[in-house]
Amino acid sequence: MNVDILVQNIFNALQFGSFYAIIALGYSMVYSILMLFNFAHGDIFMTGTYIALGVATVLLGWALPTWVVLPMTILLAMALTSVIGMVVERVGYRPLRDAPRASAAITGLMIGIMLETGVLALVGGQKVAFPELIKTETIHLGQITLTNIKVMIVVASLVMMAGMHQFVKRTKWGMAMRAMAYDFPVVPLMGVPINNIARLTFGMGSGLAAVAGIMFGLAYPILNPYMGIVYGWKAFVAAILGGRGSIMGACIAGYMLGFIEVFVTMIASSVPWMSPSWRDLISYSIILGILVFRPHGLFGESYSAKLRL
């Protein structure tokens, strides 16, 4: 095996890991703070991608240059997708906050189906192309070839993760989020409006999912309304594997997933009796194995929930 392929695969893994990690962040934050699996999150990612597509198409229709369209698409798609996330929280989850967890979980599934079929009804089932907002350029570094989009995705993701980490660690909202993750019912007694924090959590998670959607659209410009499902599942796996209450954990687990998938594919293609379609079978067996030994996830503390007051 030569170094070129190895380095390219590392970058592929980093790129996939970035998608998983950014989506997993939204999952993990909601799960940590509200003890809630927001199964609609993968579909919020898909919706964000379609919103970005819509915004970009309109802006390009006004003949604006791409360097104007790209930042505006990011900002508008983030804002609109955040609003969707906050509406989902208000309508779907807040009334069920004290309901059995299973009811809240199927709420997520139902909202997911509503988003999928909603997009299907509005846009149609045919695959649509995401506009090329950044001209793909190939970078040659010695023997290694990369695309500028891959590099940008990895850098942008790392910046966002660092930003979220700082936000949760330092700001008043971040502190409230951490406190809610440890002992939810006490937090309002410190004068913290927990409903606002819950709304903010959904809004931020959804905004991040929209950015992940834009990056996905730039790297794989073919969209369909069901694209969120598999990414949602995998990001969910990353969120749990990372451990409850750990932003870093979700990110690292997201990248782990990316690396395991890409390198399993690489190895499987070189073994004569295997094929790349073995990828997920082997990858997720490995992750199941990790969970058996670390049932609370990589960075989760062993946690016994005290929900009584």
Closer residue to other proteins, CB minimum distance, 277 or 304:
304
269 binds other proteins (CB under 8 A): no
183 binds other proteins (CB under 8 A): yes
Please enumerate in sequence order all residues whose Cβ is within 8 A of that of 253, keeping only pairs 6 or more positions apart, or say none.
20, 21, 24, 237, 238, 239, 241, 242, 243, 297, 298
Evaluate whether 14 touches 154 at the Cβ level (below 8 Å). Answer: yes
Spell out where 100-211 has E strands.
128-129, 138-141, 144-147
Closer residue to other proteins, CB minimum distance, 173 or 226:
173
Tokens of 276: 């790349």
185 binds other proteins (CB under 8 A): yes
Strands 144-147 and 138-141: antiparallel
105 binds other proteins (CB under 8 A): no
- Report the nearest approach of other proteins to the CB of residue 191 (Å): 4
- Report the nearest approach of other proteins to the CB of residue 251 (Å): 18
Interface pick for other proteins out of 60, 64, 123, 179 (rule CB under 8 A): 179
Closer residue to other proteins, CB minimum distance, 3 or 186:
186
| Helix (H) or strand (E) segment spanning residue 222 | strand 222-223
What amino acid occupies position 118? G
x/- binding map, residues 153-172, to other proteins, per CB under 8 A? ----------x---x---xx
Secondary structure class of 123 (helix, strand, coil): helix
- Report the nearest approach of other proteins to the CB of residue 203 (Å): 10
- Report the nearest approach of other proteins to the CB of residue 62 (Å): 28
309 binds other proteins (CB under 8 A): yes
Closest CA to 174 of 120, 234, 247: 247
278 binds other proteins (CB under 8 A): no
97 binds other proteins (CB under 8 A): no
Secondary structure class of 140 (helix, strand, coil): strand
- Report the nearest approach of other proteins to the CB of residue 89 (Å): 17
d(CA 1, CA 13): 17
Find the DSSP H helices in 220-273: 227-242, 247-270
118 binds other proteins (CB under 8 A): no
Closer residue to other proteins, CB minimum distance, 25 or 264:
25
d(CA 111, CA 231): 16
Pick the stretch among 129-137, 188-196, 229-237, 257-265 that binds other proteins (CB under 8 A).
Answer: 188-196
Closest CA to 25 of 13, 40, 10, 41: 41
Q: How many residues bind other proteins (CB under 8 A)?
A: 25
304 binds other proteins (CB under 8 A): no
Secondary structure class of 128 (helix, strand, coil): strand
Interface pick for other proteins out of 1, 102, 141, 189 (rule CB under 8 A): 189
Closer residue to other proteins, CB minimum distance, 202 or 231:
202
Half-sphere exposure of 262 (CA within 13 A, CB side): 21
Chain residues binding other proteins by CB under 8 A are: 163, 167, 171-176, 178-179, 182-183, 185-186, 188-194, 245, 301, 306, 309
